[in-house]
Amino acid sequence: MANDDLSVLNIDKSRISRRGKKKHFVYLLLLPAFLIIVGVLYYQGVLTLAVKVDVARVVGLYPSEAYTLLNASGYVVAQRKAAVASKITARLVSLSVEEGSPVKAGQEIARLESDDLEAARNRALADLEFVRFKIEQVKAELTDATRSHQRNKQLLPKQYISMAEYDVGEARYRTARAALSAEEAALKASRAALRVAAVNLEYAIIRAPFDALVLTKNADIGDIVTPVGAAADSKSAVVNIADMDSLMVEVDVSESNIRQVYVKQPCEIRLDALPEARFAGRVHMIVPTADRSKASVMVKIAFLEKDRQILPEMSAKAAFLSQPLTVAEKEPVMAVPTAALMEAKGENIVFLVQDGKIIQKTVRLGRQLGDMTEVKSGLASDDVIALNPLHRLKQGMKVVISD
């Protein structure tokens, strides 16, 4: 029995050898498949280390930037503006406009207290009427004196009247003539006085000097308005107005760059208040003097397109262009740095960075815009593309964006 028990403990070496050979065979069969899978994963970048890349974004670019010779900043300024004030001192009794109100030349803006001026005009009118009646009286006297003088001329040679009577009649005639001349002069003076009174009364009405827009209102009903505003609690300008059709951009150009600017040069104007809009402009004037404190020369740029959103004193930037823009060049286009482009198999490609991996994209290109190139299709705005190192990148590779 003991020998039988020990026989159970014997190891069958032949069976172990056969089992090991089977496992080795299975490993040999799985190894090629494993190597193939590893190769595919490596090629796709799954098993590779992440590569540091410099990136850029696909941006909307205005073609005008490629034609820009010089940039300058300044402000929108109305070339025709006025602080509308009074020529007399009086209390403001009526104000018919407010900020933003359009006014026409000659339109009444405000009215001042004018009771005393109306009284003066009425008095001048009454004086004029009095002189007119006086003239009628003097004319009647002159007519009577003339007839009497003519009769005396006929009676004197026949000695029907004395020389003394003739002299009295002649003196009366000359006096009547002189009185008529005096009254006619008085009539002219009365008319002039009436004109002065009417002009003074007109000063009580403040009118717009030209077509404009009211920018600010500086006085209210009840305020004392004076020509200079020197009196206590008085106001000088009632409103400030500006001709909105005279708006221009005034920029300071460095003396060293002024040679690049010339009259009628095409420009593109951007306003900080309207960042999405770009306005066509043209150099209207180069002011013939320099500012020694800033070593600059003022340049005035006229708007070629009117827009009611443009207001005085808005900050502006102007780009001086080398050539006028076509209609197509006024619209933004998608563009990428030219350095981000590669050519493969006759196609233009870029490497899109998405979720930490490289995606190779075929793109259709447009015109060259400086160091940028227009992309007509293949990318979307704000896509992130790789810039460097392009020669090491391929589809599926893991990347990390460089600082």
In CATH, what number is assigned to the domain containing residue 287? 2.40.30.170
pLDDT of 390 above 90: no
Same domain for 104 and 127 = no
pLDDT of 26 above 80: no
| pLDDT-wise least confident of 63-67, 238-242, 310-314, 345-349 | 63-67
Q: What local confidence, expressed as pLDDT, does residue 48 receive?
A: 55
Q: Which of 307, 328, 349 is the last residue of a domain?
A: 328
Containing structural domain, residue 265: 68-79+245-328
Same domain for 376 and 345 = yes
Q: What local confidence, expressed as pLDDT, does residue 2 receive?
A: 47
Same domain for 174 and 126 = yes
The answer to whether position 300 is within a domain reads yes
The answer to whether position 11 is within a domain reads no
Q: Determine contact, residues 70/318, Cβ cutoff 8 Å.
A: no
Categorize the per-residue pLDDT at 365 as very low, low, confident or very high, splitting at 50, 70 and 90.
Answer: confident
pLDDT of 246 above 50: yes
**Alpha helix stretches (DSSP H) within 44-162:** 115-155
Same domain for 317 and 253 = yes
Q: Which of 202, 226, 257 is the last residue of a domain?
A: 202
Same domain for 209 and 198 = no
The answer to whether position 24 is within a domain reads no
Same domain for 289 and 158 = no
Side chain identity, residue 375: V
Close Cβ partners of 150 (under 8 Å, ≥ 6 residues apart): none
- Classify strands 224-225 and 234-235 as parallel, antiparallel or unpaired: parallel
Residue that wins the pLDDT comparison between 383 and 310: 310
Same domain for 234 and 106 = yes
The answer to whether position 5 is within a domain reads no
Q: Which of 328, 350, 370 is the last residue of a domain?
A: 328
Same domain for 106 and 58 = no
Same domain for 196 and 93 = no
Q: What local confidence, expressed as pLDDT, does residue 51 receive?
A: 80
In CATH, what number is assigned to the domain containing residue 120? 1.10.287.470
DSSP secondary structure letter of residue 89: -
In CATH, what number is assigned to the domain containing residue 367? 2.40.420.20
Categorize the per-residue pLDDT at 29 as very low, low, confident or very high, splitting at 50, 70 and 90.
Answer: low
Place of tokens 């032949």: 14
Same domain for 324 and 264 = yes
Cβ neighbour number for residue 19 with a 10 Å cutoff:
10
pLDDT of 378 above 70: yes
Same domain for 172 and 154 = yes
Q: What is the pLDDT of residues 107-129, one digit of tens each?
A: 999 999 999 999 999 999 999 99
Q: What local confidence, expressed as pLDDT, does residue 299 receive?
A: 97
How far is residue 246 CA from its own chain's centroid? 10
Instruction: Strands of 158-225 (E only): list them.
Output: 205-207, 212-217, 224-225
How many domains are there within the chain?
A: 4
Distance (Å, whole) CA 354 – CA 301: 45
Mean pLDDT over 149-171 rounds to 83
| First-to-last C-alpha distance (Å) of the chain | 82
Q: What local confidence, expressed as pLDDT, does residue 305 receive?
A: 87
Distance (Å, whole) CA 144 – CA 362: 116
Same domain for 106 and 238 = yes
Residue that wins the pLDDT comparison between 155 and 7: 155
Q: What is the pTM of this model?
A: 0.65
| pLDDT-wise least confident of 71-80, 188-197, 380-389 | 380-389
